[in-house]
Amino acid sequence: MRAIDSIAEDLAAGRITSRALVEEALARIADPAGEGARTFIKVHADQARTMADATDALRKVGREAGRYAGIPIALKDLFDIAGEPTPAGSAVLANAPPAKANAPVVARMLAAGFIPMGRVNMTEFAFSGLGINPHYGTPASPWQRAERRIPGGSSSGTAVAVADGMAAAGLGTDTGGSCRIPAAFCGIVGYKPTARRAPIDGVLPLATSLDSVGPLAPTVGCCATIDAILANEPAAAMTPTGLRGLRLAVPENMVLDGMDATVAAAFDRALSVLSAAGAHIQRTTFEQFAEVPTVNAKGGFAASEAYAWHRHLLAAAGPDYDQRIRVRIARGEAISAADYIDLLHARARLISAFDVATAPFDAVLMPTVPIIAPRISDLDDERAYNSQNMLILRNTALGNFFDRCSISIPCHQPGDAPVGLMLVGETLGDKRLFAIAAACEAALGG
């Protein structure tokens, strides 16, 4: 995996062409020994080649093609692409009417010159953190691939595409961890912005109160670059902050429960490295965490808002859904208007309290996921599927509920199972969080 700035420099200097990048990506997608067939739902091979040739032609005659023009990316299957259906990893919408226009975030990536390699796999309708899809297959995490471990979800295909070199970076969405979980399981960086930072128009929703659009990429810097494009902001050089004197909180309640030995060792090592670099690590308790499960006990925003969107489609084609996803959506039917209003008020109250609690700190640190990626085959049992899904989503979902920006960076040693270190920043503190995350990435050897 190479940082997109490094690729951009090679393109500008003529050391590589966009066509060569696209052909390399296509070869990896088509490799029968790889995960391409399970990662891509649709490959835009001809379009990608045409766009690459046009970009190379512009550069050849000295015309400005844009710094990132010609770099291959992957698009999660829930983004509108003009002229195509938006199935969101489902079978029921595979032949839906085509989108009339590109989603704004897709349009912004195209305007920056990135080349979409196609639509990539995901958990059906983005409603699980595991990445399992019965309709299109489940791409395996890069680690111990012969054992076929889950890629994480719901942006499963985006993470595997980036990790395997089928794209240089990609777009995902994050409603409860869907960028950060697959990034952690696949050994890359995943970013969840403050939700209002990038538009979600033209993105098939899960829960609009929580949905956000974010990048998955090899480095923090890559994610910062793409985030600026998605937010329609001018690109700015990112300077890592100094670690010395940073105040980093480590919650001792909830988020460390159930850690396996591999994650615990990687997390403790990360804290030791950051402390040795001069960061002040303070272990503390955030009382607000304890209230979240109770507030969400009936299904929370995900079930209520998903059911509102899906109820007519469920009535017409419920058997065509992944039944594990259908059951989760159907929970929303029992949530009353009064329940939903209570949920809105409780969230506002807890956000206000959490803002006060985190004010003394520069960021909050926790494991992205408390366990390493389980085997796909171990989750065939419904009880195991549900329990592992809840555990895997537990930590990341806090960032969405509290309306924060959050990032997962690798913190494992080479050769070990991928483990993510999650940093949670302040609401709209995205640029500050990128600077802190870049410093942590450098200290941890990223």
Asked if residue 236 lies in contact with residue 228, where contact means CB atoms within 8 angstroms, the answer is yes
Q: Is 76 a catalytic residue?
A: yes
For the stretch 280-314, what's the b/e string if a residue is b when 16 or more beta carbons lie within 10 angstroms of its beta carbon?
eeeeeebebbeebeebbebbbbbbbbbbbbbeebb
Catalytic residue among 18, 76, 209, 212: 76
The residues near 215 (Cβ < 8 Å, ≥ 6 apart) are 169, 170, 171, 172, 179, 190, 191, 222, 223, 226, 227, 230
CA distances from 67 to 7, 63, 71, 73, 411 (A): 10, 12, 9, 15, 30
The residues near 197 (Cβ < 8 Å, ≥ 6 apart) are 212, 227, 230, 231, 405, 428, 430
Q: Is 154 a catalytic residue?
A: yes
**Cα 121 from Cα 151, distance rounded (Å):** 11
Of 27, 31, 24, the C-alpha closest to 7 is 24
**Cα 149 from Cα 245, distance rounded (Å):** 39
Catalytic residue among 154, 156, 304, 408: 154
CA distances from 434 to 65, 184, 198, 208 (A): 27, 17, 16, 24
Asked if residue 79 lies in contact with residue 42, where contact means CB atoms within 8 angstroms, the answer is no
**Token pair for 42:** 């649709």
Of 286, 254, 278, 281, the C-alpha closest to 268 is 281
Catalytic residue among 141, 156, 178, 408: 178
Helix or strand (DSSP H, E) at 225? helix 220-230
Amino acid identity of residue 123, one-letter, is T
**Cα 88 from Cα 119, distance rounded (Å):** 10
> Would you name the residues annotated as active-site residues?
76, 154, 178
